[in-house]
């Protein structure tokens, strides 16, 4: 199984900050990577697909990059509604899917 | 619009079998490339993919749980059912169903674009 490792596990930041979250795959996954945002008590929401494509309706301050084994999610200027937990997910081995362990983004 | 909704018991006893139903609308599971998956999330922990069924009735399971899981579909009712045997307290989690399309269907293939709201299942005697 492909393992997905996110870092950091948690990060504290302030409104207006630029934040980067990293996801590393245990083997190459091309660009078959997605990012999700999850708020407490809610289902995850798709933000980015194909490593760098923005899902419809998602603000442009969110961006994704990477290919192969190393990927990043960047929020260019944090807004109050962005404080949440973020997950990466690989689909290279579809239909066998794996998620990262999550990164909790907290208010400093 | 696309919606999914999970239903099932909120409480099960250890060793019992859990049966969850995902009822969806806005798409057909008989459309080529369409799939429905189950994902779970223990309280305060990460998402874990469990199973997937596709438009062709092919079924796929998590390596670690495959001996305990069965996924099935009723296309006429727009429902997908997951059963998990021999429930244990560590299986306490929110269980989600979500739509996903097979790779190659479009640019966002391989991602969960629509999710149910989730159903919390507690395993306790």
pLDDT digits (tens, 9 = 90+) for A51-73: 999 999 999 999 999 999 999 99
Chosen for mutation from A94, A98, A99, A102 (greatest number of chain B CBs closer than 10 Å) is A94
Q: Judge contact between A88 and A71, C-beta under 8 A.
A: yes
Q: pLDDT in tens for each of the 108 residues of chain A?
A: 999 999 999 999 999 999 999 999 999 999 999 999 999 999 999 999 999 999 999 999 999 999 999 999 999 999 999 999 999 999 999 999 999 999 999 988
Residue in chain A nearest B45 by alpha carbon: A101
* Residue B65 at interface with chain A, using a CB cutoff of 8 Å: no
Cβ-in-10-Å burial (0-12, 13-18, 19+) of A64 comes to buried
Residue B106, pLDDT score? 82
Residue B34 has pLDDT above 90, yes or no: yes
Instruction: Give me the phi and psi of B75, to 5 degrees please.
Output: -60, -35
Q: Judge contact between B28 and B79, C-beta under 8 A.
A: no
Contact A1 B37 (CB under 8 A): no
Residue A108, pLDDT score? 87
């Amino acid at each position: 199984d492909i393992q997905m490792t996110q870092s950091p596990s948690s990060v504290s930041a302030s409104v207006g900050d630029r934040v980067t979250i990293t996801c590393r795959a245990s083997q190459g996954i091309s660009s078959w990577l997605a990012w999700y945002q999850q708020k407490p008590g809610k289902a995850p929401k798709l933000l980015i697909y194909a490593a760098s494509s923005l899902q419809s309706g998602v603000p442009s301050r969110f961006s994704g990059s990477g290919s192969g084994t190393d990927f990043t999610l960047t929020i260019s200027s944090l807004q109050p509604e962005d404080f949440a937990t973020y997950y990466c997910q690989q689909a290279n081995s579809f239909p066998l899917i794996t998620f990262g362990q999550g990164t909790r983004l907290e208010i400093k | 619009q696309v919606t999914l909704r999970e239903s099932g018991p909120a409480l099960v006893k250890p060793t019992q079998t859990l049966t969850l139903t995902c009822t969806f609308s806005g798409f057909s599971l008989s459309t080529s490339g369409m799939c429905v998956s189950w994902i779970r999330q223990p309280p305060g922990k990460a998402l874990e993919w469990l199973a997937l069924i596709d438009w062709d009735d092919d079924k796929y399971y998590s390596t670690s749980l495959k001996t305990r899981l069965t996924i099935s579909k009723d296309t006429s009712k727009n429902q997908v059912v997951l059963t998990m045997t021999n429930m244990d307290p560590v299986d306490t989690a929110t269980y989600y169903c979500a739509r996903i399309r097979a790779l190659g269907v479009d640019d966002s293939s391989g991602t969960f674009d629509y999710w149910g709201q989730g159903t919390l299942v507690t395993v306790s005697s």
